[in-house]
Structure formats: structure tokens, C-alpha cells
């Protein structure tokens, strides 16, 4: 089998020179040594393509962390929900997979209509009047929401609940280093955000959790926030009080950004009903498989008064010269490729294919179907949590705070070790909190709680027998 090399040696040299690097090893230096192969693949010269593919498949078999081989109890932002065959059958049609650019609507009406329907359903889930055509993922949506909130409020200080997914907060801090936003992490107490009582200085409550651009972090706790960010539910699975965050926003003039779980909308009041100005989320649970982390789907909805700051694409409904309903991208004049440095966002595209998957999934489920999915998740989570807490040495990490689809427990051994042992028994047994927040914690889960913490998710796919088997196996591996 010949080598498939997309670049010539001269092109590699030019690329490395442009980057200021001397070798490919230097380019990939950020990849930990333990993850590098360090040699070529053991393939015989001249092997036919079927033999090479068979060899690749055999190597793939060594990867145990596959949801089709292990019973999945992992979550933390990506969930093993059911994707009905109808979703793949419709969204995978060539008309969507190879659709033409929507900037020429005369050849993209079907794709534009599907995205318009997606926007309508996301707006209903969020409880806000306008949703965009999607963003790249949940973390990207959070960054864009903070940028919108800072622009609208005129203040750079951002209070972020430590209940926001830690990887999302890391992305936000990376962007904040360039924009000058001052990001202050507000800690959790019993699994929910402990906002400053009077909405005033957050310095004492936030501890050391400040970050931002150069010269921006000092004294940030004494400045009224321009944006508050809260999870609904948060990454520990706990249900937050959005009303409390809304009251702080009303007192300080800040905008409220809610990072919401779209599945939870089947049971909970919408974030818009609770006072959110912007709602963001990860759309992966809506028809997208786990797929080793992507491509995923960022959800974004806003109040009407902020529509001209809405990032990314927006599909609108109109009529053509014959009076027939038609779809176009609208409010284009606000976008990065037209306004350049005056743009409110540098995102001028979207995840069309994943949005179509989500639209088909939501259309297939309907209101009653989404409620049933959320209800089965909640019931399965309660059963699993109660069963685990009945085991010796397993304790709740968030007290009695209500949860919906996910919960955290403290176990007698390090979470990473428990996950390795569970994988040997056929279970993808949750996420080690130490891997999410670091061994020293981050203001939400600290010290021994992080090292020995396990974050467990239960979706509608998990049967009673699977939950009972998981509980028995965890009892065995932690002893």
C-alpha cells in the first residue's frame, strides 16, 4: 500500500519556517510523551489496502473507551443518548451532507429551512425569542455569550460559577487573555453556586479564582460584574437557583448567561422564563453520537434586544418575488467578514450538519418525547445514586442538593483507578473529577474530594439491569 502524504518535504519545511519551528517533533511537543508512538506503524511494505484496513481495525480494538463496547456511565458534557435510526437516515441524506453555501439561497433552500426549524426549536427550549444557526460547541458558545454580555453591559468583569464545565471555563480564560475580560470564579457550596450575599464585592467569595488580560485581574473583585454565568444544571448535575443570579443581575446591571442542558428542558422551566438574557449549551445530546469528542454543536439564544449582537449565522424567513415562502441568512451586516474590526463576533459560520441532526431528533421526539427522555434520565439517576450511596465507603459529594441526570460521589480510592478497574469489567464508569478540575481543585471540588471523586451520568439508554450491574461492580473495585 503506498504512502498517502498530503505534503511534500518542501511544503513541510516552508510550514515549519513560517511557524518559527525547526522540526515536526517541535510542532507536536505539546503532545505528552506517553501518548506518542515514537516509531512508524508495524506494516509490511507493499501491503494491500484491505490488509492495512484490517490491521488498523485490530489496533482500534485495543481502545476500550468505546461506548459500543462498554456500558457508558460517563458524562461531564458528552452523553450516551439514544440516536434513533430515523435521525441518521434523514440528516445523513446527501442533500444535507453536501449542501451548498447558504450565502446563495437559490440553491440551498432545503438546508436553510432545516436550520430555520432548528433555530425555532432551540429558541423554544431556551425560552427566548431568537436562536442562531449554531456555533462550534458549548465552550465556543459560552465565549461568544460573554463577549456579547461585556459589549452590552460595557463592563469587563465576568462572574462565572465554578459549576460551569471546567473545560469551558478554561477556554473562556484563554479568550479572556486576549480580550481583557476579567474572569472571576465564584465557588460552590454543597454543589451549588455561593454568590456574594449582596451582589457587591466578590473578592472574598471568589478566592484566588481570577484571570484575564494583562493588568486586568488585580482588584477585580471590587468591580460590579458585567456578566454572570451559571449552569442549569451545573457540571456536577446539581440544580441551580437561576432566580438568585437574576436578582444579582438586576441589582448590578449585569447580563445573565445560562449554560443550559437541552435535555433538562423536558422537565425544567426554561432559562428564559427564569430571567436569562442569553442561553448557551452543548447540543451533542440532540442526535449526535459521542464520536470521541466531536464534531459537536453549540446552542445560542438571546433576548430580542440583543439580536444585533448575535454571533454567527442567522437564518430568516421571507418571500420571493412570486410571494412564495423562502429562507435566507439575515442580519448579515453585523458579521465579521463584512464589518471586520467593528464586528461583535469573529464567528461567521455554523455547524449545519450537526444542527440538522438536532432538528430531526427534536422533531422526532416532540414535546412529550423530550419530556420522557428527561424523565427516564432523572429516574435512572435517582435509582443509581441511591443504590451507590447504600454501599460502604461511597458518600455524596454535594449533600442533598437535587440532581437530574448526573451526580458526584466520593469513593474510597482515586477516581482514575476506579475507572480503570471498571473498564476491565465492561463499564465506562463515569469521569474522575481530578481529571476535570486538576488534583488541587479549582474552587468547586478541592483536594481529596477531587482525587477520590467520581462524576456519574445516567441516560435513558441505561437499563435497570445495567445500573444494578454497575453498582455491584463499583462495590467490588473500590474495596
Q: How far apart are CA 117 and CA 298, in angstroms?
A: 16
Q: What is the pLDDT of residue 204?
A: 43
pLDDT of residue 65: 56
Cell (9 digits) for 351: 455547524
Distances (CA, A) of 135 to 78, 345, 377: 16, 12, 26
Distance CA 269, CA 287 (A): 22
**Around 421, how many Cα atoms within 13 Å sit in the side-chain half-sphere?**
15
Fold annotation for 71-81+390-477: 3.90.1150
Alpha-carbon distance 299 to 320, whole Å? 29
Helix (H, G, I), strand (E, B) or coil at 130: strand
Q: What pLDDT score was predicted for residue 206?
A: 42
Residue 99 is predicted with a pLDDT of 63
Contact between 221 and 204 (Cβ < 8 Å): yes
* Residue extents of the structural domains in the chain: 71-81+390-477, 89-359
Query: Tens-digit pLDDT profile for the chain (479 aa)?
Result: 445 566 888 999 999 999 999 998 899 999 998 888 888 788 888 888 888 888 888 887 777 655 567 999 999 999 999 999 999 999 988 888 776 667 778 778 889 999 999 999 999 999 999 999 999 999 999 999 999 999 999 999 999 999 999 999 999 999 999 899 999 999 999 999 999 876 554 444 444 344 554 334 333 455 799 999 999 999 999 999 999 999 999 999 999 999 999 999 999 999 999 999 999 999 999 999 998 888 999 999 999 999 999 999 999 999 999 999 999 988 877 776 777 777 778 888 899 999 999 999 999 999 999 999 999 999 999 999 999 999 999 999 998 999 999 999 999 999 999 999 999 999 999 999 988 875 445 556 766 677 899 999 999 999 999 999 999 999 999 98
CA 282/CA 286 separation, integer angstroms: 9
Cβ atoms of 144 and 413 within 8 Å: the answer is: no
What's the pLDDT score for residue 147? 95
User: 89-359 has which CATH code?
Assistant: 3.40.640.10
pLDDT at residue 447, as a whole number: 66
Say what the pLDDT of residue 442 is.
56
C-alpha triplet 372, 373, 376: angle, nearest 5°: 80
**pLDDT at residue number 345:** 81
Equal fold, 71-81+390-477 vs 89-359: no
Amino acid at each position: 500500500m503506498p504512502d498517502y502524504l498530503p505534503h511534500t518535504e518542501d511544503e513541510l519545511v516552508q510550514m515549519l519556517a513560517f511557524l518559527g519551528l525547526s522540526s515536526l517533533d517541535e510542532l507536536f511537543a505539546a503532545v505528552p510523551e506517553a501518548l506518542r508512538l515514537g516509531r512508524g506503524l508495524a506494516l509490511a511494505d507493499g501491503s494491500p489496502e484491505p490488509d492495512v484496513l484490517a490491521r488498523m481495525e485490530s489496533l482500534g480494538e485495543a481502545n476500550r473507551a468505546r461506548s459500543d463496547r462498554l456500558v457508558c456511565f460517563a458524562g461531564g458534557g458528552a452523553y450516551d443518548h439514544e440516536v434513533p435510526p430515523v435521525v441518521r437516515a434523514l440528516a445523513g441524506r446527501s442533500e444535507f451532507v453536501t449542501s451548498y453555501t447558504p450565502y446563495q439561497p437559490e440553491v440551498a433552500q432545503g438546508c436553510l429551512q432545516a436550520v430555520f426549524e432548528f433555530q425555532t426549536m432551540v429558541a423554544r427550549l431556551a425560552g427566548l425569542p431568537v436562536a442562531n444557526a449554531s456555533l462550534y460547541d458549548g465552550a465556543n458558545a459560552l465565549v461568544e455569550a460573554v463577549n456579547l454580555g461585556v459589549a452590552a453591559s460595557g463592563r469587563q468583569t465576568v462572574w462565572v460559577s465554578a459549576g460551569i464545565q471546567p473545560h469551558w471555563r478554561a477556554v473562556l480564560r484563554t479568550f479572556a487573555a486576549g480580550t481583557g475580560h476579567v474572569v472571576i470564579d465564584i465557588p460552590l457550596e454543597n454543589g451549588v453556586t455561593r454568590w456574594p450575599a449582596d451582589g457587591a464585592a466578590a473578592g472574598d467569595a471568589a478566592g484566588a479564582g481570577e484571570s484575564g488580560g494583562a493588568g486586568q485581574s488585580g482588584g477585580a473583585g471590587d468591580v460590579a460584574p458585567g456578566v454572570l454565568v451559571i449552569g442549569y444544571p451545573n457540571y456536577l448535575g446539581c440544580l441551580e437557583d437561576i432566580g438568585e443570579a437574576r436578582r444579582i443581575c438586576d441589582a448590578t446591571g449585569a447580563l445573565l448567561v445560562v449554560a443550559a442542558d437541552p435535555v433538562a428542558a423536558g422537565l425544567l422551566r426554561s432559562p428564559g422564563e427564569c430571567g436569562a438574557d442569553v442561553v448557551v449549551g452543548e447540543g451533542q445530546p440532540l442526535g449526535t453520537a459521542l464520536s470521541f469528542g466531536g464534531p459537536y454543536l453549540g446552542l445560542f439564544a438571546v433576548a430580542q434586544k440583543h439580536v444585533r449582537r448575535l454571533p454567527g449565522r442567522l437564518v430568516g424567513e421571507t418571500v420571493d418575488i412570486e410571494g412564495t415562502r423562502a429562507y435566507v441568512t439575515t442580519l448579515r451586516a453585523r458579521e465579521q467578514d463584512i464589518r471586520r474590526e467593528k464586528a461583535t463576533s469573529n464567528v461567521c459560520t455554523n455547524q449545519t450538519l450537526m444542527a440538522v441532526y438536532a432538528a430531526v431528533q427534536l422533531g422526532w421526539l416532540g414535546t412529550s418525547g423530550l419530556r420522557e427522555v428527561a424523565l427516564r434520565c432523572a429516574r435512572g439517576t435517582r435509582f443509581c445514586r441511591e443504590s451507590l450511596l447504600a454501599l460502604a465507603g461511597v458518600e455524596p459529594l454535594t449533600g442533598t442538593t437535587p440532581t437530574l441526570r448526573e451526580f458526584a460521589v466520593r469513593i474510597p480510592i482515586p477516581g482514575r483507578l476506579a475507572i480503570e478497574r471498571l473498564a476491565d469489567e465492561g463499564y465506562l464508569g463515569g469521569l474522575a473529577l481530578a481529571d476535570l478540575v486538576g488534583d488541587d481543585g479549582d474552587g468547586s471540588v478541592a483536594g481529596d474530594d477531587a482525587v477520590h471523586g467520581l462524576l456519574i451520568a445516567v441516560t435513558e439508554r441505561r437499563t435497570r439491569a445495567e445500573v444494578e450491574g454497575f453498582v455491584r461492580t463499583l462495590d467490588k473495585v473500590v474495596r
